[in-house]
Amino acid sequence: MTEQHIAKVFDRDLEGIQARIMKMGGLVEAAILGAAQSLASRDVELAEKVRAGDAAIDDLEVLINEETARLLALRSPTAGDLRLVLTVMKISGNLERIGDYAKNIAKRTGVLTQLPPVNGSTASLKRMAREVELMLKDALDAYIQRDAELAKDVIERDREVDQMYNALFREFLTFMMEDPRSITACMHLHFIAKNTERMGDHVTGIAEQVIYLVTGERPDETRVKADDTSVSVLEG
């Protein structure tokens, strides 16, 4: 095989893997929206669909892992090609985790429908999930277009998601103190808010991979980290 031929085979293999990443991204976006929708409309059937759909996302990750391993073994990529393969592995790992969070949110819908609703908080949760879904769409676009600026913008927007989470955390504390009967529901809603905020962190992880892929540099770790959020709310 000539070098040119090897390069072509590598590109074709990689294209196949990238197509799977995009498919996985589409499923994960749908899972985020489905989970938020099922919660807002107390739709147990939709929640069950999201829950069951996570297996397809997991399967894609396993497949991508196998295919990248095969690519590494057979094509021994170096430099930029190797960096790309490693990036793909990390992105599929992040997508799998976001899918898991969506599934976990959907699981709680069933429990929450058996409890009295808590003051419009599901609408805020849905807005937050919608924002994370848009960030994910942009992070994947940034990946396809090798657009480091768009990726930076996604990372920036994660601050807003953290702020939404902080506001919700404060709200839940207030609800629980005002009405102890709402404690169980609020604990579940808080889990959902936290899971959504963690999804945003994983979207940020994807955006950071894009920046690394394009610039070769790791972004600064200066932004407020995930779990600081509710700590600072109560310290302040």
Cα–Cα dist 53/117, whole Å: 26
One symbol per residue from 151 to 190: x for binding a copy of itself (CB under 8 A), - otherwise; what is it?
A: ----------------------x--xx--x--xx--xx-x
Cα–Cα dist 99/232, whole Å: 28
Q: Is 229 helix (H, G, I), strand (E, B) or coil?
A: helix
Q: Which long-range contacts (CB under 8 A, 24 or more apart) does 68-72 make?
A: 68/17, 70/13, 71/10, 71/13, 71/14, 71/17
What is the smallest separation between the CB atom of 141 and a copy of itself, expressed in angstroms? 25
Please select the residue that binds a copy of itself; options are 82, 150, 167, 214, rule is CB under 8 A: 82
**Distant-in-sequence, close-in-space partners of 114: CB < 8 Å, separation ≥ 6:** none
Smallest Cα–Cα separation from 91: which of 175, 178, 174, 18? 18
One symbol per residue from 96 to 125: x for binding a copy of itself (CB under 8 A), - otherwise; what is it?
A: ----x---x--xx-xx--------------
230 binds a copy of itself (CB under 8 A): yes
Please select the residue that binds a copy of itself; options are 93, 137, 147, 152, rule is CB under 8 A: 93
* Site residues (vs a copy of itself, CB under 8 A): 62, 69, 72-73, 76-79, 82-83, 86, 93, 100, 104, 107-108, 110-111, 173, 176-177, 180, 183-184, 187-188, 190-191, 195, 218, 227-228, 230-231, 234-235
